[in-house]
Structure 1
Amino acid sequence: MNCERERKNLERCNCTYPGCSRKGNCCECIAYHKAMDQLPACYFPEDEEKTYDRSIENFIKIYQERGTIR
């Protein structure tokens, strides 16, 4: 599936996974991660995104530790 906004999306995509075929195609990225019970890279701070742990549990843990979620 082609995305007409792919180039613009790539400007703010923080995914560091090498060879990701969905990079810049937000619709496919979100659908893929939702099917895996995960969140896409853009939900994570850059230092945490690099761990590739995109689980919802990890997202909650990160933001609880940083005081953003109570």
Structure 2
Amino acid sequence: MIAVSFDKCNNQEKKDFECPCTYAGCPRHGRCCDCVHYHRKKDQLPACYFTAEQEKTYNRSIDFFIECRDK
């Protein structure tokens, strides 16, 4: 496995980044590296992989992602 450093996330300091996550109070909002890292540990995908309607379900599972793509 490749070691990944999250010290230099490109979006970490950007205030104008439009994160598609609608989960209120998310501490990773707009911090892509942190978000990907968090969801990857849970075998999930972040909100940016889903349409706006799919994202509102808060179902971040890989199975849900595949199901949505197969339609």
Class of the TM-score when normalised by the shorter of the 2 chains: 0.7 to 0.9
Query: For residue 20 of structure 1, what is the aligned residue in structure 2?
Result: 26
Unaligned regions of 5+ residues in structure 2, if any? 1-6
The percentage of aligned residue pairs carrying the same residue is: 52
Structure 1 vs Structure 2 CA RMSD: 1.6
Q: Indicate whether 1:57 and 2:63 are aligned.
A: yes
Query: For residue 7 of structure 1, what is the aligned residue in structure 2?
Result: 15
Q: Deviations over 1:2-48 (max 9, x none)?
A: 822x3243x2x110001100000001000000000000000000001
Distance (whole Å) between structure 2 residues aligned to residue 40 and residue 54 of structure 1: 6
Amino acid at match of 1:28: D
Scaled by the length of structure 2, the TM-score of the pair is: 0.80
Distance (whole Å) between structure 2 residues aligned to residue 8 and residue 29 of structure 1: 17
Unaligned regions of 5+ residues in structure 1, if any? 66-70
Scaled by the length of structure 1, the TM-score of the pair is: 0.81
Structure 1 stretches of 4+ with a deviation exceeding 3 A read none
Partner of 1:27, secondary structure, is helix
